[in-house]
């Protein structure tokens, strides 16, 4: 992330399992632990996409935030596409009143508004490095996903962890997905290191994501926080985590890449 220092807020979402159903999108929030510790993360006591109970069921379509300029697309009747988002506090929605307003949920809102039927599975964990995401990968892949979106590296950059380790961890995560879920499409989200780490580190860090995508065949998105990082009104008081508006802008930044994947996946799924 750019122009950001320090650690995230302390706190916990506790054991949250939310499922929101609308015209075409379902959202499952997995339990997340907030903080910036680098130790092993506690595992949720529910499986991906298998909530222990359904709470706060919402029906109807969620409107896009004001100013959204997402193009209208054709409606389709393909089976719901299961999209697993693996990520950090940015994905988990740290600090938001409703974690479903984090960027994965906003991607779901956009998809729903355009007629793409998807099931968002949010597996964000605050404070997690790429090494932590790698440790969780086998557990997360116990259930089947059609698309796996990987957002990791932000905490590596904040801590100045070796770029070579980030590259190795990302490649191993992608390959685990490809081995465990060979039919799934893998999407890697571009992240950037804060400028205070120095230009050499920042340049090397930024290049990792394209290198990983080329080495593994994963799809690469633009920088998640383009137009958000360093913009005060787009971020919470900590200057690190997006507001609802910032999360919506982040979702729009990566939507074109995710939409292209959904177009391909939903063409191969049987019609209802």
| pLDDT tens-digit readout, 180-199 | 999 999 999 999 999 889 99
Would you state the pLDDT for residue 59?
A: 26
C-alpha angle with apex 90: 214 to 3, nearest 5 degrees? 85
The catalytic position among 143, 165, 211, 238 is: 238
Q: Is 241 a known active-site residue?
A: yes
Q: Is 112 a known active-site residue?
A: no
CA 109 to CA 250: how far, in whole Å? 13
Q: Which residue has the higher pLDDT, 48 or 241?
A: 241
pTM of the model: 0.75
Q: Inter-axis angle of helices 130-140 and 163-180, to 10 degrees?
A: 10
pLDDT at 23 over 60: no
Q: Domain map of the chain by residue range?
A: 19-267
pLDDT at 15 over 90: no
Query: Coil, strand or helix: which one is 46?
Result: coil
The catalytic position among 89, 113, 126, 130 is: 89
pLDDT at 255 over 60: yes
Non-local CB neighbours of 263 within 8 Å, separated by 6+ positions: none
Q: Give domain 19-267's CATH number out of 2.60.40.4070, 3.40.50.1110, 3.40.50.300, 2.60.40.10.
A: 3.40.50.1110
Would you state the pLDDT for residue 266?
A: 86
What φ, ψ does residue 197 adopt, rounded to 5°? -80, -5
Kind and range of the H or E run holding 20: strand 19-21
Q: Is 238 a known active-site residue?
A: yes
Q: How many CB atoms lie within 10 A of CB 128?
A: 31
Confidence of residue 238 (pLDDT cuts 50, 70, 90): very high
Q: Give me the mean pLDDT over the 147-166 stretch.
A: 98
Would you state the pLDDT for residue 79?
A: 77
Confidence of residue 219 (pLDDT cuts 50, 70, 90): very high
Least confident interval from 35-39, 85-89, 160-164, 260-264: 35-39
| pLDDT tens-digit readout, 31-78 | 333 333 333 343 332 233 323 222 222 223 334 444 444 444 444 455
Q: Give me the mean pLDDT over the 106-110 stretch.
A: 97
Kind and range of the H or E run holding 85: strand 81-87
Q: Inter-axis angle of helices 244-267 and 103-113, to 10 degrees?
A: 50
């Amino acid at each position: 992330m750019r122009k950001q220092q320090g650690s995230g807020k302390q706190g916990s979402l506790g054991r949250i399992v939310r499922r929101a159903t609308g015209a075409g999108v379902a959202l499952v929030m997995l339990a997340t632990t907030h903080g910036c510790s680098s130790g092993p993360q506690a595992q949720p006591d529910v499986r991906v996409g298998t909530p222990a109970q359904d709470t706060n069921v919402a029906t109807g379509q969620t409107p896009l935030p004001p100013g959204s300029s997402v193009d209208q697309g054709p409606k389709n009747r393909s089976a719901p596409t299961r999209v697993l988002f693996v990520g950090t506090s940015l994905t988990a929605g740290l600090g938001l009143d409703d974690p479903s307003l984090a960027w994965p949920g906003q991607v779901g809102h956009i998809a729903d508004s355009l007629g793409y039927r998807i099931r968002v599975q949010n597996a964000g964990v605050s404070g997690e490095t790429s090494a932590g995401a790698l440790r969780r990968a086998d557990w997360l892949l116990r259930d089947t996903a059609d698309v796996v979106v990987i957002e990791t590296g932000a905490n590596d950059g904040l801590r100045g962890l070796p770029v070579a380790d980030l590259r190795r961890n990302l490649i191993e995560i992608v390959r685990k997905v490809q081995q465990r879920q060979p039919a799934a499409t893998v999407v890697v989200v571009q992240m950037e290191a804060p400028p205070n780490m120095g230009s050499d580190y920042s340049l090397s860090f930024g290049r990792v994501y394209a290198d990983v995508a080329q080495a593994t065949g994963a799809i690469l998105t633009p920088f998640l926080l383009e137009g958000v990082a360093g913009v005060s009104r787009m971020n919470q008081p900590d200057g690190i985590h997006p507001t609802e508006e910032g999360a919506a802008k982040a979702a729009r930044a990566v939507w074109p890449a995710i939409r292209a994947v959904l177009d391909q996946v939903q063409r191969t799924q049987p019609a209802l």
